Homo-oligomer: A and B are copies of this chain.
Amino acid sequence: MPDARTPESLLAANERFYRTFEALDFPAMSRLWEDSSRVFCAHPGWMPLRGHRPVLESWQRIIENTGEIHFALSGEQAFLAGDVGIVTVFEGIYSTVGHERHSSGAASTNLFGYDEAAGLWLIFHHHASHTPIPEDAESGPLLV
């Protein structure tokens, strides 16, 4: 299998993470996560969670309670560091929870580990935090 540790494959893995969240497909979301001791997830406004099980449980809960969610991503930057991929991205978040519509913005640090056997990137660290929504949220880049 050709080595796919490239910025392009890393950005594709990052994109897949958000599209899977939009699909509200929990089994697919759980397949995107590394099962390791370094799993970390800070949803915007939450206390961070550590460990594969608490993080996956949080995704299940979020997915079950979300009616609809859409991400407008912008300003993605990707860096390779050996077996680790580092992505920073601005998320414009548009969601429906119950009958309420929400829009917000978050900046996210996403770290991926390269799974050599499977030939793909698995996310192990998602740190998202609220930011103001820039006016050009659909047109990016948004991060200075």
Contacts and interface: CB of A to CB of B under 8 A. Distances in A.
A127 interface: yes
A40 B127 contact: no
Given A38-B86, A129-B127, A144 B50 contact: yes
Contact of A131 (B47, B54, B82, B142): B47
A107 B127 contact: yes
Nearest to A81: B84
A22 to B, nearest CB: 23
A74 interface: no
B84 A82 contact: yes
A2 interface: no
A35 to B, nearest CB: 15
Nearest to A132: B47
A79 B81 CA distance: 14
Interface in A50-105: 50, 54, 77, 79, 81-84, 86, 88
A42 interface: yes
